[in-house]
Structure 1
Amino acid sequence: MRSKLYNNIMRRIHHCNKSTLFQVLRFLSTETKFVKTFDEIPGPKSLPLVGTLYQYLPMFGKYKFDRLHHNGLMKLRQYGPVVREDIVPGVSIVWIFKPEDIEMLYRKEGRYPERRSHLALQKYRLSKPEVYNTGGLLPTNGKDWWRLRKAFQKHLSKVQCIKGYVDSTNTVVEEFIDRRIKRKGRTNDFGPELSRLFLELTYYVAFDERLQWFKDAEWDSDSECSKLIKAAHDINSAILKTDNGPQLWRKFNTPMYKSIIKGHEHIEKIALKVMSEKLTSIKTTDSKASLLEQYLSSGETDYKDVIGMTVDTLLAGIDTATYSCCFGLYHLSSNPDVQEKMFCEARALLPHNNTPVTSGMLERAVYSKAIIKEMFRMNPISVGVGRILPEECMFSGYRVPAGTVVVTQNQVSCRQEKYFRRPDEFLPERWLKGSVDYESVSPYLVLPFGHGPRTCIARRLSEQFLQVVLIKCFRLSGTLR
């Protein structure tokens, strides 16, 4: 198929004089020479029946499903900035690394951007039409996705709405600091602590309920808090493997699919209980409505849609925020200079240890914002974003047909020296106005929440959570020195 550029030039060729015609034909020969077909895209060798799955086998393969960023780096070094791979026979994935190609993907994603992910989760939900209308926001595509997105984003995309949750966030974080840091002292593994923090935050903001899950009793493996965290972790761990590995779960209840079912049924039970309670409280309370109450009373979605959104809120609120915060604190602990600057900002904003954080303070807290952005550059929530092409696209000279799954490799690209000065160093200063990197870095490299119509619906709320946690924890660190 000829490129649009080729066709446009050919339509005008009859207007050219001989000299111009010669130049046009010379350009066309060059353009045609450098445009390559889909079949010419380099990548790991695919074998009949097994695709490239053999390269992911434990002990024998060089790739690992749970190390996508390492896989991406190896593929970039071996094959270049555009890589084609048939992990499953007949399903091609194209990995792209250049910011120019990433920009092109977003510009061509269409009105209803489509993705291919959370497929096993979608299968489970669609098998229960008495509970769910769709697979939810994550796996659903087309007009069904837009119907859900349009209804749910109203309460999460407005800056003023998000600012309204600063007080409740501050309350939960202060209690966390008092119960789990001041009283308990040092700990070797802060991850489980943060999981409880972000679960409590999510529950409070989404459902306007406090669960008091910082108590010592909630650390028992049979506690409600521990079981909910484990369920979310099991589902999120299985989703990656069921999306990219053998699709046997489509025909059989494989161990990985059973793990999703078990975890999902537990979270689903909690979501149904909360919703049942909120349906009653909507009619009897005049207080500020929670997110869930706003969804239930909006009229734009029905009960089944809200069930899916409630489960998704719990899934995302536990694992992803914990992951991000863990890496952020790790980088801060490894960089004393950055720690000191963060402490100075926290002390300037909060004169006293018990001074509450306000939305106005968060706007002025430029260094904590820079830390969060640098944290997402080095350790984003996912390696990149996947899209199903609605039309043919050109990536670094290769034609990729409509219907192809294209996945960005932002995490790998963000560690390349050609795009970032000292890429393996944690340097929040690069995101401050006036720095060398501030204006020169492509805006399509650091995109932890995606971009465009399908950007993460809770992006602003997640960033606000992280900022409050950083400021409050570092204000405390000054008194514990």
Structure 2
Amino acid sequence: MLLTTSVRAACARAGAGAGAGRARSSVAAATATVAAPSDAADARPADWERARPFQDIPGPKPLPLLGNTPRFLPGIGEYGKKDMLELQHMLRRQYGDMVRVSNVLGRKDMLWVFDPKITEKMYRNEGKWPIREGIKTIHYYRTVQRKEKFEGALGTVSTQGKEWYDFRTQVNQPLMQRKSANQYYTPVNDVAEDFIARMRDLRDENNELPADFINELYKWSLESITMVALDTRIGCLAPNLPKNSEPQGLIDAVQVMLEAFYKLDLKPSLWRIMSTPMWRRFVGAMDYLTDVAEKYINEAIANKKKNPDRPPSILEKLMEKDPKVARVMASDMLVGGVDTTSHLSASLLFHLAKNPEVQRRLREEMRRVLPSKTTVITEDLTNEMPYLKACLKESLRIFPIAMANVRETPADVVLGDYQVPKGTDVMMCHMVMSRDEKNFARPMEFVPERWVRGSPEAHTASPFATMPFGFGPRMCIGRRFAEMEVFTLVAKVIRNFWVEYHYGDELLFESKTLNSISMPLKFRLIDQD
């Protein structure tokens, strides 16, 4: 699952604040949002005049002179003390399904939405080239700090308008076609088998995994995504991997980048006018990722020359289009494919461990579809695993990695009987909606039967109530690979082990750049026939 910018944009708009004035014109230019032309008519919609003014939408009332800025100051204001999910719930309780956050210094007004019907209308009106705020730190790094390395190939996470569209068009076919993913089932299986063996070795005398098992999941996800992004295995699952090893260095670099996105892009920071310690750490992490990606791309070119007749990999297909595109896409896949699938897999295993009847039913499905523990999982076999798919959907409903998504209105639109002007950022708070009893009965219970066709518990909620991979042209470009990796690993785990967890009944997590689990993952694994 490649990193989305939804939560970053959400925090950046509502969160605290006022960044320092941009003294460096180069930074201002590099981090500016590119406006995309609308494919809608300039004329206002027919129901515009009947709708209430934008200013009438409920929301925190600005203080005289100070506006709403003090309320969102980190650790000080009533909203600044909350993490992102707590803040969303608080605003929804106070003001309802549409909340206008205005007069925050350095930020334009933003609309927060907690209703699936309004969300659907926003998505249906997002325009030909949907706009969402990009990652300014990455944009500046690639356009100014290391301009000579990227030569205008900036990726999908920091571009807008036609620039975004042109890049996305180049990478869509290699990354989103089913046949592209299918060629990776066998290598992803190989990685999963090696990780199952490592899980056995990691257990203590009580058959429990170590508290820092999330870092082992990072190694599994990195090893899996490098098969796609870099066309190689890099040895993440070797026993006793040194802390200064290249695989651990990549994992650490990704963690630094996620921390930097939160502290530099979302919170007030002086990086735009001076080099701060966090900015320097970010540049170091980006340099490391970029250099490693370039090294393996060069190796892939050499290997292709030795074996010219084998089918081209995704990396090779991207290189045929443009080596610069291949390099930046490989870097983005490493950033977006490590943290996300790791926490998604961990949350699914937690829910299975705490719901033994669900796990028992899933194990029956795995024994039927996978007669051997080492059966290679293929796309055809995953189509015979409807309950596993239902379990993943339910886990994503309760614990989506990105809790919200943001779009800018490309034209005037009426949402929820209110006028919403062109250029307004609209944050659709999917995690709140997917945990709302108005949309899902018993919302905090893990009930995969909601997603089983013909089940009496099948849900009737709008599909826009839960959108873990986004929607439309800017939906997650790595969805197919993320699902393949998680399906394969969890299927193998349940086929090999009975999974238990004895250190709490609630999944604890932090909501910053992305949702991340913040508890020891001391799963107990009991071998099964």
TM-score by length of 2: 0.81
Aligned partner of 2:480 among 446, 454, 460: 460
Partner of 1:386: 406
Query: Which shows bigger deviation, 249-258 or 122-131?
Result: 249-258
Q: Judge conservation of contact 2:45–2:413 (CA < 8 Å) in 1.
A: no
Is 1:107 aligned with 2:130? Answer: no
Counterparts of 2:412 and 2:276, CA distance in 1 = 36
Q: Judge conservation of contact 1:122–1:136 (CA < 8 Å) in 2.
A: no
Is 1:365 aligned with 2:401? Answer: no
Distance 1:229 1:183, change over 3 A: closer
SS in 2 for 1:399: strand
Counterparts of 1:454 and 1:4, CA distance in 2 = 24
Superposed CA deviations along residues 320-373 of structure 1, whole A, max 9, x for unmatched, are 111211211121121111111111111111112222222211011001100110
Partner of 2:281: 259
Partner of 2:176: 157
Q: Judge conservation of contact 1:231–1:263 (CA < 8 Å) in 2.
A: yes
Counterparts of 1:129 and 1:268, CA distance in 2 = 12
Partner of 1:5: 46
Following superposition of structure 1 onto structure 2, how do residues 182-201 of structure 1 map, counting pairs within 5 Å? 182=201, 184=203, 185-187=207-209, 188-201=211-224
Is 1:77 aligned with 2:99? Answer: no
- Higher RCO (CA < 8 A, seq sep 6+): 2
Superposed CA deviations along residues 174-199 of structure 1, whole A, max 9, x for unmatched, are 01111233564521332111100000
Note the C-alpha offset of 1:446.
1.6
Q: Judge conservation of contact 1:81–1:96 (CA < 8 Å) in 2.
A: yes
Superposed CA deviations along residues 44-66 of structure 1, whole A, max 9, x for unmatched, are 34458875443344543333588
SS in 1 for 2:121: helix
| Greater fraction of residues in helix | 1
SS in 2 for 1:268: helix
Partner of 1:180: 199
SS in 2 for 1:72: helix
Counterparts of 2:329 and 2:179, CA distance in 1 = 21
SS in 1 for 2:328: helix
Q: Judge conservation of contact 1:82–1:395 (CA < 8 Å) in 2.
A: no
Counterparts of 1:413 and 1:314, CA distance in 2 = 30
Q: Judge conservation of contact 1:83–1:95 (CA < 8 Å) in 2.
A: yes
SS in 2 for 1:84: strand
What residue identity is the alignment partner of 1:83? V
Counterparts of 2:233 and 2:431, CA distance in 1 = 36
Counterparts of 2:186 and 2:75, CA distance in 1 = 50
Partner of 2:158: 139
Distance 1:119 1:277, change over 3 A: same
Distance 1:402 1:134, change over 3 A: farther
Counterparts of 2:365 and 2:80, CA distance in 1 = 41
Note the C-alpha offset of 1:292.
1.2
Following superposition of structure 1 onto structure 2, how do residues 225-374 of structure 1 map, counting pairs within 5 Å? 225-246=247-268, 248-285=270-307, 286-297=309-320, 299=321, 302-374=322-394
Counterparts of 2:126 and 2:227, CA distance in 1 = 35
Is 1:168 aligned with 2:187? Answer: yes
Structure 1: unaligned runs, 5 residues or longer: 8-30
Is 1:209 aligned with 2:209? Answer: no
Counterparts of 1:275 and 1:145, CA distance in 2 = 23
Aligned partner of 2:147 among 108, 114, 129: 129
Partner of 2:60: 44
Is 1:400 aligned with 2:420? Answer: yes
What residue identity is the alignment partner of 1:142? G
Superposed CA deviations along residues 241-269 of structure 1, whole A, max 9, x for unmatched, are 43332253322223433332121111111
Note the C-alpha offset of 1:216.
2.4
Distance 1:167 1:400, change over 3 A: same
Is 1:119 aligned with 2:136? Answer: yes
What residue identity is the alignment partner of 1:82? M
Q: Judge conservation of contact 1:387–1:407 (CA < 8 Å) in 2.
A: yes
Q: Judge conservation of contact 2:114–2:428 (CA < 8 Å) in 1.
A: yes
Distance 1:199 1:2, change over 3 A: closer
Q: Judge conservation of contact 1:121–1:260 (CA < 8 Å) in 2.
A: no
Counterparts of 1:469 and 1:65, CA distance in 2 = 37
Aligned partner of 1:89 among 106, 117, 125: 106
Superposed CA deviations along residues 25-80 of structure 1, whole A, max 9, x for unmatched, are xxxxxx83xx2212222223445887544334454333358821111111100111
Q: Judge conservation of contact 1:46–1:85 (CA < 8 Å) in 2.
A: no
Counterparts of 2:329 and 2:80, CA distance in 1 = 31
Superposed CA deviations along residues 11-38 of structure 1, whole A, max 9, x for unmatched, are xxxxxxxxxxxxxxxxxxxx83xx2212
Following superposition of structure 1 onto structure 2, how do residues 54-65 of structure 1 map, counting pairs within 5 Å? 54-64=70-80
Q: Judge conservation of contact 1:131–1:307 (CA < 8 Å) in 2.
A: no
Is 1:435 aligned with 2:476? Answer: no
Q: Judge conservation of contact 1:389–1:406 (CA < 8 Å) in 2.
A: yes
Superposed CA deviations along residues 136-175 of structure 1, whole A, max 9, x for unmatched, are 2112111111111111110121122212211111111001
Partner of 2:527: 480
SS in 2 for 1:308: helix
Q: Judge conservation of contact 1:343–1:477 (CA < 8 Å) in 2.
A: no
SS in 1 for 2:176: coil
Counterparts of 2:80 and 2:402, CA distance in 1 = 15
Note the C-alpha offset of 1:410.
0.3
SS in 2 for 1:156: helix
What residue identity is the alignment partner of 1:130? E
Structure 2: unaligned runs, 5 residues or longer: 1-41, 499-525
Q: Judge conservation of contact 1:205–1:291 (CA < 8 Å) in 2.
A: yes
SS in 2 for 1:313: helix
SS in 2 for 1:248: coil
Is 1:415 aligned with 2:462? Answer: no
Query: Which shows bigger deviation, 57-66 or 268-277?
Result: 57-66
SS in 1 for 2:240: helix
Partner of 1:426: 446
What residue identity is the alignment partner of 1:77? R
Q: Judge conservation of contact 1:117–1:243 (CA < 8 Å) in 2.
A: no
Q: Judge conservation of contact 1:43–1:85 (CA < 8 Å) in 2.
A: yes
Distance 1:183 1:376, change over 3 A: closer
Q: Judge conservation of contact 1:414–1:446 (CA < 8 Å) in 2.
A: yes
Aligned-residue CA RMSD in angstroms? 2.3
Superposed CA deviations along residues 63-113 of structure 1, whole A, max 9, x for unmatched, are 358821111111100111111224443422211111111111111111111
- Bigger radius of gyration among the two: 1
Q: Judge conservation of contact 2:44–2:413 (CA < 8 Å) in 1.
A: no
Query: Which shows bigger deviation, 353-362 or 430-439?
Result: 430-439
Note the C-alpha offset of 1:208.
2.4
Q: Judge conservation of contact 1:168–1:205 (CA < 8 Å) in 2.
A: no
